Structure formats: structure tokens, C-alpha cells
């Protein structure tokens, strides 16, 4: 966030709202996709009924 403060103080542009929102997500949200994927897999591993529903839904979406 300091980079935004520094840019404003220097009279530079700070980018789009989307850039700012992504910066906040990177700082305070999910750190990376691998961690998110790992959490999703752990939820499915623990909850077998949810895993079956998810797999069934994925198969229907791909036409299998």
C-alpha cells in the first residue's frame, strides 16, 4: 500500500480501481491459487458427499 501513497505524493497516476482492488486482495485475501486449490481439495476430501456432487456436476458440464 505504501506504493500508492508514494505515487500520490509524487503526483503520479495510481492505476485503475481494479488494480487497487487486486492489490488489496493480494495483501488481505487468498495469497495464491495453489493455497486456494489446496483448501478446496481438503474440503472435498473431508466431505465425501460434497465431493460426489462436485464430481457429478463437473461431469455434467463436460458432457460425460
Cα 37 to Cα 34: distance, rounded to the nearest angstrom: 5
**What are 6's three cell numbers?**
508514494
pLDDT tens digits for the chain (64 residues)?
688 788 888 999 888 888 888 888 777 776 566 777 777 777 777 777 776 776 667 666 655 5
**What are 4's three cell numbers?**
500508492
Asked whether 50 and 44 are in contact (CB, 8 A), the reply is: yes
**Is the pTM value of this prediction over 0.75?**
no
Cα 8 to Cα 15: distance, rounded to the nearest angstrom: 11
Amino acid at each position: 500500500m505504501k506504493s500508492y501513497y508514494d505515487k500520490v505524493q509524487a503526483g503520479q497516476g495510481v492505476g485503475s480501481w481494479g488494480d487497487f482492488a487486486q492489490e488489496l486482495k493480494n495483501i488481505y485475501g487468498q495469497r495464491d491459487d495453489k493455497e486456494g486449490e489446496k483448501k478446496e481439495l481438503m474440503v472435498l476430501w473431508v466431505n465425501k458427499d460434497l465431493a460426489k456432487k462436485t464430481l457429478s456436476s463437473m461431469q455434467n458440464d463436460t458432457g460425460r
